[in-house]
Amino acid sequence: MVTECFHMETMRVISSLSVFEKVAKNQSYSLAAKEMGVSKAYVSKIITSLEEEFGEKLFIRSTRKVKLSYLGEELLAKCSSPLNILESISESLANRSPTPKGVFKVSLAGAYGEDYIAPVLFKMAKEYPDLKVDISFSTRNVDLLDENVDVAIRVGDLADSNLYARKISFRREYICATKKYVKLNGEPKSPKELKEFNCLMGVGDYWSFIIKKKVERIKLSGNIRSDNGRVLLKAALDSIGLVKLPDVYVKEYIDSGKLLSVLDSYLAKEIPIWAVTHTRKKDSVNLQHFLDLLEEFLKREKSL
């Protein structure tokens, strides 16, 4: 009986510290509750209980977020490693299930994510009722481990050695404009001439080119900026300026003649697309099923 009580108390402490760690990581009760699939009231109750036990505040609260107190920082430093080990063990046990279940969080961006990745996730959700799919769209490179993301779709070269990456496809980018815009403003013959044109900008002020076999970034500007590719496409179709977008956005308009592509010889023919996960998650059943389904879907799309 004493041993059983000890085990129950140990599990309670571990569970409470896990909630504390999630709040510290997210700097928010609400975000921590969302990540764990519990109510904000439950999170608040756990933190209050911990603070009563320690006799001191763990967080300094403001209207927008919470920050760790001195005691909170000390506690986080001491409990993070053991909690990571326990989480890893928990994931390993969960992976013994032959079919996907639990929460599967995926980070996507743009039309490629909408058209090619989301349908695969819909299929998983329909086939596996015990699986909850969380689809997040963001143009930034999310921290896979800190934000508990199971897999992210990323484009181009990868630098993080802690990541497990599987190449799933490739894309090509085009710089294009309508015939009307080219007729009124002319056509650039080299990347450096783009400084004289209205360039519809996405994230950042640079477009990359291959000049004399080297990648060169050229700073450009324009009167419209957006992190939404479809918005930039509509601006280009409205003859406002030149746009640089992946083939998934513009290829059909180039093929139909609604857009003219320029400077093709200065752009890479193939840019790799990766499914990326942290090495700790690479053997999960959820991920493996996703990658297998994705491979089948992309093969079928290419054969059409």
Per-residue pLDDT of 33-52, as tens digits, reads 887 777 888 888 888 888 88
Q: Which pLDDT score, from 0 to 100, does residue 97 have?
A: 56
How confident is the model over 192-224, as pLDDT tens digits?
999 999 999 998 899 999 999 899 999 999 999
Q: Which residue has the tokens 């980018």?
A: 173
Give yes or no on whether 102-166+271-303 and 173-266 have one common fold: yes
Rounded CA-CA distance 254/262 in Å is 11
Confidence band of 12 (pLDDT split at 50, 70, 90): low
Class of domain 2-94: mainly alpha
pLDDT exceeds cutoff 60 at 283 = yes
Query: By the 8 A CB rule, do 171 and 273 touch?
Result: yes
| CB of 241 closer than 8 Å to CB of 200 | yes
CATH 3.40.50.300 assigned to domain 102-166+271-303? The reply is no
- Locate 263 and state its tokens: 């400077």
Q: 7 pLDDT band (50/70/90 cuts)?
A: very low
What is the residue extent of each domain of the chain?
A: 2-94, 102-166+271-303, 173-266
**Quick one: pLDDT band at residue 139, thresholds 50, 70, 90?**
confident
Q: What percent of the chain has pLDDT over 70?
A: 87
Q: Which stretch of 1-15, 76-90, 279-293 has the lowest confidence by average pLDDT?
A: 1-15
Q: Angle 34-90-17 (CA atoms, 0-180°, nearest 5)?
A: 55
Residue 82 pLDDT exceeds 60: no
Question: What's the pLDDT tens digit per position in 232-245?
Answer: 999 999 999 999 99
Q: How far apart are CA 153 and CA 172, in angstroms?
A: 16
284, pLDDT greater than 90: no
Please say whether the beta carbons of 248 and 111 come within 8 A: yes
CATH number assigned to the domain covering 173-266: 3.40.190.290
What is the structure's pLDDT at 237?
A: 98
Strands 66-68 and 102-108: unpaired
pLDDT score recorded for residue 96:
52
More confident residue, 273 or 300: 273
| pLDDT recorded at residue 161 | 61
Q: What is the largest CA-CA distance in the chain?
A: 86
Report DSSP letters for 206-233, one per residue: EEEEEETTEEEEEE---S-B-S-HHHHH
Coil, strand, or helix at residue 270?
Answer: coil
Instruction: Write the pLDDT tens digit of every residue in 105-128.
Output: 999 988 889 999 999 999 999 999
**263, 209 contact by CB (below 8 A):** yes
Structure confidence at residue 6 (pLDDT): 38
Rounded-to-integer distance, Cα 73 and Cα 168, Å: 40
72-86, 129-143, 278-292: the lowest-pLDDT one: 72-86
CA distances to 191, 218, 229 from 242, in Å = 12, 15, 13
Q: What are phi and psi of 10, to 5 degrees?
A: -60, -45
pLDDT at 9 (0 to 100): 53
pLDDT above 90 as % of the chain: 41
Q: What pLDDT was estimated at residue 218?
A: 95
Q: What is the mean pLDDT of residues 168-188?
A: 95
pLDDT value, residue 91: 53
pTM of model > 0.85: no
Q: Which residue bears the tokens 């093929």?
A: 255
Angle subtended at Cα 290 by Cα 122 and Cα 157, rounded to the nearest 5 degrees: 115
Q: What is the pLDDT of residue 88?
A: 52
Burial of 100 (0-12, 13-18, 19+ CB in 10 A): buried
Angle made by CA atoms 173, 260, 206, in degrees to the nearest 5: 40
* pLDDT score at 63: 64
